[in-house]
């Protein structure tokens, strides 16, 4: 989608106002900015009618010289946008002399749609040409289409030449006809009172959008009422720039936020009493409860399952692994492979015994809930007894300090800041205790996603100081984790602006902030920015002190099976020094089947 900010006469002839509008367009994400130009003298022959006199005075008062227009063209180019201009007669283009080539595209306004000389002259400049079709019936429009079809790179804009266009007068379905008859790229020149109708234009095939931009849509200029103010224009660009992502690929895929919500909101079967191995599942020994931690009754029927093969304790959610034989530990060869490569898997306090039994590898990363962290304050010895202290550990700080609040040690709200401090301090206490018991270093990692009002640089500087005092000063390094741009918090999507963009890379490199580099998150954030994730990886790897390894696809497909995403061959990362945690999405389910599959795949690749 290409959104063009039309400056028209909304700059009032002020170079400063025009420059402000260009900067607003850049910040909003516009593809291009366009000027209208009429020579200073001689455009209007007569101004006897009231409408002619008003328009003539507005145009004269809004004149910007070619030299100043070209200064603004430089600003547009420096902002990464395309610069365009409309002429009402080709003679006016001569005012720009040899600098005419500095424009990236040209436009013929609706009023000159049938001006074949103007169209041919502008097309002859070898740049994309936009024709606007407002104020003409189909015969005139398709005559213009036929005569301009001999030229390459022509775009046709549907347009209603009212200022403003009231809701219901858009005739938007004509876009389909225009697209079918021209076979060319089509778009919409909007003078609507309601900018949102541009979304309807997109649904009808428009890919180029021209919208007037003004500082004040309630101003006294004759175009203000049919323009967008900065906030409207930002919303327009945001939605249209996301249009292809919103549309998708005609397939229906379940995202991770939905999976989390279906688990939290859905129900499944729980044992209402102890169920012995070999006993059939029935209404008498099960009950339906939330959350959905296991199978539904319909799921049992669909899979043809009836008798469990393992005992099920009362209150336990029935899952597929209850209908399988106990699984053997990871093979000795794969244990050796994991330990040689310093591979680790995430474990939780409640599943540590099961996963440590099935995966007798040296390294584990404790992924704790906020309740589990709080329990270590009151029952450190009891909780440590649930862990194999012959292993080596890292600790992942919970993302939440309670069921409604993300961790934020820099928060302006005292309650959030103090709760975050307590959470982090307890994780450092646990790390020190594990370090004493195991004799191995225990790094701590965490997701810090909240941006201060003071801006990024201030946030990073303060966060680095905090992590230094909270962790390293006590002998435990705390590494902030690289994040995806789209994070699934509270079962919904949150667009982040920390540890996920090119500007973040610049800052962390400048201040030397050591990181936990999550390759899955890195792929997602780079895909969001439409850049090669390997370029970002090369920039960040010198700062990486801890690695999370998983495959990923798109902007939110996190932790998928190795080989099904954008990661490619992970050998270079598997062979790197230091611990590497295999972050497979829900790899812990069914006693760690996802982790075993990942280790098998990596082990086969490494012989």
- Kindly state whether residues 262 and 303 are assigned to the same domain: yes
**Spatial distance between the Cα atoms of 514 and 536, rounded to a whole number of angstroms:** 15
**Spatial distance between the Cα atoms of 469 and 477, rounded to a whole number of angstroms:** 10
In residues, how long is the chain? 607
pLDDT of residue 568: 92
**Spatial distance between the Cα atoms of 25 and 3, rounded to a whole number of angstroms:** 9
- Kindly state whether residues 318 and 336 are assigned to the same domain: no
pLDDT at 248 over 50: yes
pTM summary value: 0.72
- Kindly state whether residues 133 and 158 are assigned to the same domain: yes
- Kindly state whether residues 387 and 269 are assigned to the same domain: no
Q: Are the C-beta atoms of 107 and 132 separated by less than 8 Å? A: yes
Q: What burial class does residue 166 get, using C-beta atoms within 10 Å of its C-beta: 0-12 exposed, 13-18 middle, 19+ buried?
A: exposed
What CATH number did the domain enclosing 289 receive? 3.90.1210.10
pLDDT of residue 587: 84
Look up residue 235 and give its two tokens.
């919303």
pLDDT of residue 180: 96
Q: Which residue, of 228, 247, 266, is where some domain finishes?
A: 247
**Contacts within 8 Å (CB) and 24+ apart, 532-536:** 533/566, 536/502, 536/505
pLDDT of residue 53: 54
- Kindly state whether residues 236 and 339 are assigned to the same domain: no
- Kindly state whether residues 391 and 484 are assigned to the same domain: yes
**Spatial distance between the Cα atoms of 103 and 121, rounded to a whole number of angstroms:** 15
Look up residue 604 and give its two tokens.
């086969």
Q: Determine the structural domain holding residue 176 and report its residue range.
A: 2-247
pLDDT at 160 over 50: yes
pLDDT of residue 50: 44
- Kindly state whether residues 418 and 562 are assigned to the same domain: yes
- Kindly state whether residues 58 and 190 are assigned to the same domain: yes
Helices of type H across 135-211:
138-148, 174-182, 197-203
Look up residue 576 and give its two tokens.
């790197």
pLDDT of residue 60: 67
**Spatial distance between the Cα atoms of 257 and 15, rounded to a whole number of angstroms:** 47
The partner residues of 489 in beta bridges, in order of sequence, read 492
pLDDT at 105 over 70: yes
Q: What is the mean pLDDT of residues 424-440?
A: 97
More confident residue, 593 or 86: 86
pLDDT of residue 378: 86
pLDDT at 42 over 80: no
Confidence of residue 214 (pLDDT cuts 50, 70, 90): very high
Q: What is the mean pLDDT of residues 177-193?
A: 96
Residue with tokens 């900067």: 23
pLDDT at 376 over 50: yes
Residue 120 CB partners (closer than 8 Å, separation 6+): 151
Cα distances (angstroms) measured from residue 392 to each of 33, 269, 278, 496:
58, 36, 38, 32
pLDDT of residue 494: 86
Q: How many domains does the chain have?
A: 3
Q: Which residue, of 302, 323, 344, is where some domain finishes?
A: 323
pLDDT of residue 381: 94
Q: Which residue, of 200, 226, 247, is where some domain finishes?
A: 247
Q: What is the DSSP letter of 131?
A: E
Q: What is the mean pLDDT of residues 249-255?
A: 82
pLDDT at 19 over 60: yes
Using a pLDDT cut of 90, give the percent of the chain over it. Answer: 80
Interval 539-587: pLDDT, tens: 999 999 999 999 999 888 888 888 889 999 999 999 988 999 999 888 8
- Kindly state whether residues 517 and 498 are assigned to the same domain: yes
Q: What burial class does residue 435 get, using C-beta atoms within 10 Å of its C-beta: 0-12 exposed, 13-18 middle, 19+ buried?
A: middle
């Amino acid at each position: 989608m290409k959104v063009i900010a039309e400056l028209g006469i909304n700059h009032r002839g002020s170079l400063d106002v025009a420059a402000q509008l260009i900067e607003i367009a850049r910040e909003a994400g516009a593809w291009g900015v366009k000027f209208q130009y009429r020579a200073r003298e001689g455009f209007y022959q007569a101004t006897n009618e009231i409408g002619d006199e008003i328009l003539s005075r507005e145009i004269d008062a809004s004149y910007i010289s070619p030299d100043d227009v070209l200064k603004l063209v430089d600003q547009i180019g420096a902002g990464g946008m395309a610069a365009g201009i409309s002429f009402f007669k080709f003679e006016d283009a001569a005012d720009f002399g040899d600098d005419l080539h500095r424009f990236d595209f040209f436009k013929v306004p609706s009023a000159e749609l049938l001006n074949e000389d103007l169209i041919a002259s502008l097309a002859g400049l070898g740049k994309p040409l936009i024709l606007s079709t407002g104020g003409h019936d189909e015969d005139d429009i398709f005559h213009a289409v036929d005569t301009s079809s001999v030229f390459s790179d022509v775009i046709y804009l549907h347009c209603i030449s009212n200022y403003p266009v009231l809701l219901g007068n858009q005739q938007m379905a004509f876009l389909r006809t225009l697209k079918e008859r021209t076979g060319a790229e089509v778009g919409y020149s909007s003078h609507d009172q309601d900018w949102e109708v541009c979304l309807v234009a997109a649904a009808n095939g428009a890919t180029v959008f021209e919208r007037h931009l003004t500082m004040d849509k309630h101003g006294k200029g004759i175009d203000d009422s049919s323009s967008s103010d900065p906030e409207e224009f930002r919303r327009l660009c945001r939605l249209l720039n996301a249009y292809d992502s919103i549309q998708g690929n005609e397939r229906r895929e379940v995202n991770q936020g939905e999976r989390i919500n279906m688990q939290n909101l859905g129900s499944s079967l729980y044992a209402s009493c102890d169920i012995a191995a070999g006993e059939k599942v029935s209404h008498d020994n099960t009950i339906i409860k939330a959350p959905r931690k296991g199978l539904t009754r319909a799921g049992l029927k669909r899979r043809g399952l009836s008798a469990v093969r393992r005992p099920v304790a009362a209150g336990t959610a029935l899952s597929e692994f209850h209908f399988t034989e106990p699984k053997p530990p990871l093979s000795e060869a794969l244990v050796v492979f994991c330990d040689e490569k310093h591979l680790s898997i995430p474990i939780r306090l409640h599943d540590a015994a099961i996963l440590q039994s099935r995966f007798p590898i040296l390294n584990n990363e404790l992924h704790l809930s906020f309740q589990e962290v709080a329990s270590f304050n009151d029952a450190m010895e009891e909780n440590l007894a649930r862990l194999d202290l012959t292993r080596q550990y890292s600790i992942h700080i919970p993302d939440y300090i309670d069921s409604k609040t993300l961790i934020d040690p820099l928060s302006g709200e005292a309650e959030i800041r103090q709760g975050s401090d307590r959470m982090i301090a307890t994780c450092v206490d646990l790390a020190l205790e594990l370090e004493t018991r195991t004799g191995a270093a225990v790094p701590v990692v965490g997701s810090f996603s909240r941006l201060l009002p003071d801006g990024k640089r201030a946030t990073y500087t303060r966060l680095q100081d905090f992590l230094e005092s909270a962790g390293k000063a006590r002998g435990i390094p705390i590494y902030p984790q690289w994040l995806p741009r789209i994070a699934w918090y509270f079962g919904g999507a949150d667009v982040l602006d920390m540890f996920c963009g090119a500007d973040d890379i610049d800052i962390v490199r400048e201040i030397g902030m050591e990181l936990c580099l999550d390759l899955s998150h890195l792929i997602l954030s780079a895909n969001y920015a439409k850049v090669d994730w390997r370029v970002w990886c090369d920039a960040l790897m010198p700062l990486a002190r801890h690695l999370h390894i998983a495959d990923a696809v798109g902007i939110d497909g996190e932790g998928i099976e190795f080989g099904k995403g954008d990661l490619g061959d992970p050998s270079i990362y598997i062979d790197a020094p230091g611990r590497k945690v295999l972050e497979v999405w829900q790899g812990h389910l069914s006693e760690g089947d996802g982790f075993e599959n990942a280790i098998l795949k990596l082990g086969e690749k490494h012989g």
